[in-house]
Amino acid sequence: MIFNKLITSLISFVVFCSQLVASGSITGTITYKGKIPKLKKFDMAIEPVCMQKHETDPIRFTGRSEALVLGDGNTMGNIFVQVVSGLPKKEYSSPETPVILDQNGCTYSPHVLALMVDQPLKFLNSDGLLHNLHTLPEENDEFNVTMPKFLKETIRTFEYAEGMFPIKCDVHPWMGGFVAVLDHPFFAVTKKDGVYKIDGLDPGEYEIEFWHEKLGTRNATVSVKEGDAQTLDFVFKR
């Protein structure tokens, strides 16, 4: 009896390891090509606490958003990358670990984020100021939550998958960000270095979508082989 259980456990472990080996990944770097627009600098003088946080790295805005964040070689931050077709039809469990959105320096950090359906989204208030969280989704319920200076965190979840929708602060009109809710875990958001990586893909052909808040969406296809790491770079053009 014990021997049979050991054999069964060993077989399960071998199958699990083979699945890990067989899975592939897609990685790449997103860059920007074209004339770089002049970004308007927003005056935060009404909030000295936030002004002090940006003395050495001034925050610049286009409208109410950080619309173009570039690194060395014009790599692009805040690009949302996701698999939009080619995935097996099945349900994916949502992580219990929350995604963090911090209100810090009168900006949302990160500016663009994604999480899964029912995954906790923890909002922090690191400024110790009055903020509010006003989401504007179409599929999920809208909420408008006030966070006074003594409220350091609050948690919300989203019931339905939905593409990028805005979030804003009605107290500070320059504060804006974007949230996407997915029913699968195959997505990423780039930082200033423009690099993304999507792991755990079965062999097959996938359609990848690249999203930017001003330049819209672009799509590309890529074939993933067993245990392979494919490179898929992309260039946004103005």
Of 234, 185, 182, 184, nearest to 212 (Cα)? 234
Contact 149/161 with Cβ under 8 angstroms? no
Question: What integer pLDDT is reported at residue 63 of this predicted model?
Answer: 45
Element housing 121 (H / E) = strand 121-125
Question: pTM to 2 decimals?
Answer: 0.87
Residue 148 scores a pLDDT above 90 = yes
Band of residue 2 on the pLDDT scale cut at 50, 70, 90? low
Is the pLDDT reported for residue 186 higher than 60?
Answer: yes
Amino acid 88: pLDDT: 93
* Spatial separation of the C-alpha atoms in residues 174 and 185, rounded to whole Å: 31
SS3 content of the chain, % helix, strand, coil (to 5): 15, 45, 45
DSSP 33-51: ESPPPPPBPP--TT-HHHH
The CATH number that domain 2-237 falls under is: 2.60.40.420
The predicted-structure confidence for 70-83, as pLDDT tens digits, reads as follows 999 999 999 999 99
CA angle 166–43–56, rounded 5-degree value: 95
Question: pLDDT tens digits, residue range 35-60?
Answer: 988 877 777 888 888 888 887 766 65
